[in-house]
Amino acid sequence: MVGLGKMGLSHLAILRAHPAIDLVAGCDSTAYLTDILQKHAGLRCYADLDRMLGAEQLDALVVATPSKLHASMVQRALDDGLHVFCEKPFVLDVADGERLAALAREKARVTQVGYHYRFVGAFREAARVVASGALGTIHHVRAEAFGPVVLRRKGGTWRSTKSEGGGALYDYACHAIDLVNFVVGVPTEVGGVVRASVFSRDVDDEVYATLRFEGGASGQLSVNWSDESFRKMSTRISVWGTNGRITADRQECQLYLRERHDALPGIDKGWTVRYTTDLSEPVWFYLRGEEYSAQIDYFANSVNTGRLDGENSFESALATDRVVAMLLGEAPVHPPAVTSAPPRKSLWSRLAG
């Protein structure tokens, strides 16, 4: 695998614990990290991807580097005929994504992007209920993601750098958009886009937009990674149809049906709540959530069985990148709200002049 940052280490732990995967080597340009992993984890490490690919006999590559490096590294892996698991977002430029998806198809390689929410039981349940048609005609969807990533002006990782694929749009919003694509389908238009900085100098911290779907349904996207009131990232999707609504987050799935529906036998009208304890499939190794292990297991299965059209393929992730491109085309980032706004007057002083 290449990229041994926060997400990379989590992947590395899960990959090394998988009984069917032989994690041959790791690659990262940060020497202290690879030195520690070599010395204390017995992992063969490289500082350079080309050198690793040249030296090792590999079947697949896991890419967990900063987003701007995804395209070139995925290209390099596909050129070598490797199956590829790539962290989200897939790529920053839709043209790159189209080229890479085509290349993977041509080479018949397994591809997967790390949209792990598609492996969360409650979100799968939401997708199942919507697909069943039990909600009737879908007319609205709301996708939200809130959490405490950027809480002050200071801070300087790649996540806060525009050119490296930083910002809430590429981080939180991608997950929310992919969840919309997963549960109700891909929006065809976006409008009313707000991309604003709350604290960051260079990137958006909040993203809001209206989504439009074929058939007339609408959607709202609300994303803010500068919200300290959340302990960690919290993502939620709600879908309204003519026969009810469903709301899902990582822990639970709340369904309201106006009338019973043949597509959901055994479910009465009114509220039905199902929890993660009931919806989660067991995994062979647990770290931070079943979904992280489940997606890696799914990838390994795809490689073993030659499944090329599985969940979160490059094609699927490209649909999310296309929505991101639409949002980017719609609106530039507004400057930080915190420092640029003049001191707010109270309502009273404004009324009184």
Partner 1 sequence: MLRNDPSPSTPRSTKPMDRVLFGDNQFFGVNHMSEEKARAQSMRFQDLQAIIDVLDAAYQEGIRTFMCTSHDRVAQICDHFRANPQKYPDYQFFPCMPYAHKYANAVTEHGMIEALRMFLPQDGAVAAMLKGGMALANKDIAAIMQLLIDAEMKMFHGLSTPVVFMQNVITDLLLGLRMDECFRIFHDHVRARYGAEPGYITMNVPRLLDVLDRLGIDNPIVCANFNKIGFRMCGGIEAYEAAVAQRKFRPVAMSILASGAISPREAIEYVCSKPQIESLVFGASSRANIRQTKALIDELSARA
Where do contacts with partner 1 occur on this chain (CB under 8 A)? 5-6, 9-10, 12-14, 16-17, 32-33, 35-37, 39-43, 148-151, 155-157, 159, 231-232, 234, 236, 249-252, 275-278, 280, 282-288, 290
Helix, strand, coil % in the chain, rounded to nearest 5: 40, 20, 40
Q: Shortest Cβ distance from residue 294 to partner 1 (Å)?
A: 12
Task: Say whether 334 sits in a helix, a strand or coil.
Answer: strand
**What is the nearest approach in angstroms of partner 1 to the Cβ of residue 144?**
11
Choose among 47, 83, 50, 86: nearest CA to 68.
86
Q: Supply the minimum distance, in Å, between the C-beta of residue 229 and partner 1.
A: 8
CB nearer to partner 1: pick between 88 and 261: 88
Query: Toward partner 1, which CB reaches closer, 152 or 345?
Result: 152
Beta carbons within 10 angstroms of residue 120's beta carbon: 26
Number of H helices, E strands in the chain: 12, 13
Q: DSSP letters along 270-331, please?
A: EEEEEEHHHHPPP-SS-SS-HHHHHHHHHHHHHHHHT--S-TT-HHHHHHHHHHHHHHHHH-
How crowded is the C-beta side of 148, counted as CA atoms within 13 Å?
5
Nearest-angstrom CA–CA distance, 328 and 326: 5
CB closer to partner 1 out of 41 and 263: 41
Minimum distance from residue 60 beta carbon to partner 1 (Å):
18
Roughly how many angstroms between the first and final C-alpha of the chain, as a whole number?
62
CB of residue 239 to partner 1, shortest distance in Å: 18
Cα gap 207→204, rounded to integer Å = 7
> 334 has which bridge partners?
196
Quote the least distance from Cβ 224 to partner 1, whole Å: 15
* Comparison of 271 and 275: residue with beta carbon closer to partner 1: 275
Least distance between partner 1 and beta carbon 31 (Å): 8
The candidate with the shortest Cα–Cα distance to 110, out of 91, 83, 87, is 83
Task: Report d(CA 320, CA 339) in Å as an integer.
Answer: 32
